[in-house]
Amino acid sequence: MTRDDARQKIIFALDTSDFAHVQYWAETLAGRVGMFKIGKQLYTACGPAAVRMIQKFGGEVFLDLKFHDIPNTVAMASLEAARLGVKLFNLHALGGYEMMARTVDALDNEFKGAERAKVLAVTILTSSSDETLRQVGIDKPVAEMVVRLAELAQRAGIDGVVASPQEIPLIRRACGDDFLIVTPGVRPGFAALNDQKRVMTPAEAVRAGGDYLVIGRPIGDAPDPAAAAEMILEEIIAG
């Protein structure tokens, strides 16, 4: 794998509330990572201006708002996400088949075959365990639920999933090679686990078949974030 291929796989999770930080991170990491993830914290604080700031510096955006609502509301919100010109955005597969299929229909009607944002379904969050599922009344193990939700998303026309690296082989087997797998819960050798539970190293996640790796605190909290991003690249290439 070339250095550039490895770089394109890294999505930096821009988890901040401060608009001034957005420009700093865009300048510091543009060209070092493939995409910037704008999630609930930053989007709630700064809105579409944060997306535009990244785009101004030539960065691609993954809008991580994890929509989960009635089908019409999610479809309409998804159209707005796609109109921002982001490369990826997501919704919760637990919202069900109709919510996902209505969203894909709305996008197809609006973009009519032209290039559009890819939509991902979140399966089971990487911070969840079998016990977390039991607490909300789901008695199945995480791995079984992840595959079930990935298959449901694929049937609804969704482009891929967000899942823990540990579930990548199961999803690949069930959904094939063209289904995107975006994986958070990635921890390079030098970083702390924080609140993530089902983790892998960057090299292991790529070897397992992950298309993109979402990495936040191991880069953002590092004393030298640019150097941390380069170390992660080295880990991917060496692996």
Ligand X SMILES: O=C(O)c1cc(=O)[nH]c(=O)n1[C@@H]1O[C@H](COP(=O)(O)O)[C@@H](O)[C@H]1O
* 218 Cβ contact partners less than 8 Å away, ≥ 6 residues apart: 186, 187, 188, 190, 191, 192, 228, 232
Smallest gap from Cβ 136 to ligand X, in A, equals 15
Smallest gap from Cβ 198 to ligand X, in A, equals 9
Residue 194 annotated in ligand binding: no
Would you call 56 a catalytic residue per the annotation? no
Residue 196 annotated in ligand binding: yes
DSSP string for residues in 170-229: HHHHHH-TTSEEEE--B--TTS--TT--S-B-HHHHHHHT-SEEEE-HHHHTSSSHHHHH
Smallest gap from Cβ 162 to ligand X, in A, equals 4
Residue 157 annotated in ligand binding: no
Residue 217 annotated in ligand binding: yes
235, 202 Cβ separation under 8 angstroms = yes
Smallest gap from Cβ 219 to ligand X, in A, equals 8
Nearer to ligand X, 122 or 203 (CB): 122
Find, among 105, 99, 94, the residue nearest to 71 by Cα: 99
Q: Identify the active-site residue in 56, 66, 118, 140.
A: 66
Nearer to ligand X, 44 or 113 (CB): 44
Find, among 92, 88, 87, the residue nearest to 73 by Cα: 92
Residue 11 annotated in ligand binding: no
Nearer to ligand X, 184 or 210 (CB): 184
119, 103 Cβ separation under 8 angstroms = yes
Cα separation of 209 and 218, whole Å? Answer: 21
* Site of interaction with ligand X (CB under 6 A): 13, 15, 39, 64, 90, 122, 125-126, 162, 184-185, 194, 196, 214-218
Annotated binding site for substrate: 15, 37, 64-73, 126, 187, 196, 216-217
Annotated binding site: 15, 37, 64-73, 126, 187, 196, 216-217
- Residues marked active site are found at 66
